[in-house]
Structure 1
Amino acid sequence: MTKEELLELSKKVCKNTLMETLEIEFTEVGEDYLIAKMPVTSKVHQPDGVLHGGASVALAESVGSLASYVFLDTDKFYVRGIEISANHVKSISEGVVYAKASFVHKGRTTQLFEIKVTDEDKNLISIVKLTTIALPKKK
């Protein structure tokens, strides 16, 4: 999939969703990874003015789930997240965060991703593990 095809797909599948609300934009696709970015504004802050951990996790699950969607045959399968865990290691109050989802395991049924959320200077903000499952579509 080319970057242009990814951007078109993401616009289609993210319309009127949480990804659109959080202004998540998919920026790069590789052979086994996907990258998205999200602006850090008051819209995604917790009350003390830093990025809410839940927003980081929403970004991570969005990029990991779309990575499964991109790399699987979605004419035959639905993709669902079945487990997610996150460690938040640094706070950020403004700018942009990037999430890079990389495959740890690319199975026919389950997929495991490591997702690193970083700031513009590549400082680690959060590290997330996401497991997705491919469920067959009924004919």
Structure 2
Amino acid sequence: MSDAVENEFIQLIRGQSGAGFGGGIGMNYLEVTPDRVVVSVEVGPHLHQPYGIVHGGVYCAIAEEVASVAGAVWLGGEGKVVGVNNSTDFLRAVTEGTLTATGTPVHRGRSQQLWRVEITGDDGRAAAVGQVRLANLQ
């Protein structure tokens, strides 16, 4: 993918910040490149489960979106990506502050990709780690 096409695609992704499911939970794109996507999410009661901590599904959703955006940016105009597996481990409870999720590639091939997404709290400690497998659709 040429630099101009890559930059245009990245701007398109950033322009979607605030839309869709990610927008609904307050996802803010901080960095979007073919090799790394970083987002932040402000924690509030709308993300809590009944015990006042971030719901596990929120971590799964963040991992899915970060990996999908990263995989789509890497694939560029060659097709689309869809998630086919999401395995997210919850490591530590978070009640407030900001979550930061960083997605990096484990494997990027012709038919599938595998991305690791680490989600940290304000203190920089891991709150959750996800692994998302994507299928590349041509």
TM-score by structure 1 length?
A: 0.87
Give runs of aligned pairs for residues 1-139 of structure 1, distance below 5 A.
1=6, 6=10, 8-12=12-16, 16-30=19-33, 32-73=35-76, 75-136=77-138
More helix as a share of residues: 2
Matches of 1:50 and 1:123, distance apart in 2: 16
Gaps of 5+ in 1: none
CA RMSD of aligned residues (A): 1.9
> Residue type matched to 1:81 in 2?
G
Count residues in correspondence: 133
Shift of 1:101: 0.6
- C-alpha distance in 2 between matches for 1:6 and 1:130: 20
CA contact (8 A) 1:7 1:27 kept: no
Contact persistence 1:25–1:37 (CA under 8 A): yes
Q: Distance in 1 between matches of 2:35 and 2:19?
A: 27
Asked if 1 retains the 8 angstrom alpha-carbon contact of 2:99 and 2:119, the reply is: yes
Q: Per the alignment, in what secondary structure is the counterpart of residue 49 of structure 1? A: coil
Deviating runs (4+, > 3 A) in structure 1?
A: 4-8
Question: Identity over the aligned pairs, expressed in percent?
Answer: 26
* Aligned-residue offset at 1:86: 1.0
Q: What stretches of structure 2 of length at least 5 have no aligned partner?
A: 1-5
